[in-house]
Structure 1
Amino acid sequence: MKKAALFSLFFAINFGGLALGMWLMNNGPQSNWYYDLNKAPWTPPSWVFGTAWSTIMICFSIYLVPFFTKNYSIKKLRLYIIQVVLNVSWNYVFFNQHWVAGGLIVLILLTSLIFYFFFIFYKEQKQTSYFLLPYMIWLCVATSLNLYILIYN
Structure 2
Amino acid sequence: MNSKLALALFLLVTVGGGGLIGLSVETGGWYAALAKPSFNPPDWVFGPVWGTLYILIGIAGWRVWRAGEGKAQTLWWAQLALNFVWPPIFFAAHRLGVGLVVILALIAAITLFIAQTWQRERPSALLFLPYLAWVAYASLLNAALWWLN
TM over 0.5, shorter chain: yes
Asked if 2 retains the 8 angstrom alpha-carbon contact of 1:24 and 1:91, the reply is no
Instruction: Establish whether residue 3 from structure 1 lines up as the match of residue 39 from structure 2.
Output: no
Match of 1:125 in 2: 121
CA distance in 1, matches of 2:74, 2:86: 18
1:108-133, CA deviations, whole angstroms, 9 ceiling, x for partnerless residues?
Answer: 01111011111122101123321111
Distance 1:84 1:117, change over 3 A: same
| Matched residue type, 2:4 | A
CA distance in 2, matches of 1:19, 1:52: 12
Instruction: Establish whether residue 105 from structure 1 lines up as the match of residue 101 from structure 2.
Output: yes
The worse-fitting range, judged by mean Cα deviation, of 77-86 and 40-49 is 77-86
Q: Secondary structure at the match of 1:42?
A: coil
1:53-97, CA deviations, whole angstroms, 9 ceiling, x for partnerless residues?
Answer: 011011112212221122342x44433332222111111100000
Match of 2:51 in 1: 54
Q: How far off its partner does 1:23 sit? A: 4.0
Match of 1:67 in 2: 64
Match of 1:13 in 2: 13
Structure 1: unaligned runs, 5 residues or longer: none
State TM-score, norm by structure 1: 0.88
Pairwise CA RMSD of aligned residues?
A: 1.7
Asked if 1 retains the 8 angstrom alpha-carbon contact of 2:15 and 2:58, the reply is no
| Matched residue type, 1:146 | N
Instruction: Establish whether residue 85 from structure 1 lines up as the match of residue 81 from structure 2.
Output: yes
Q: How far off its partner does 1:20 sit? A: 3.2
CA distance in 2, matches of 1:10, 1:51: 19
1:6-33, CA deviations, whole angstroms, 9 ceiling, x for partnerless residues?
Answer: 21111000022213322442x21x1x21
Percent identity of equivalent pairs: 29
Q: Secondary structure at the match of 2:122?
A: coil
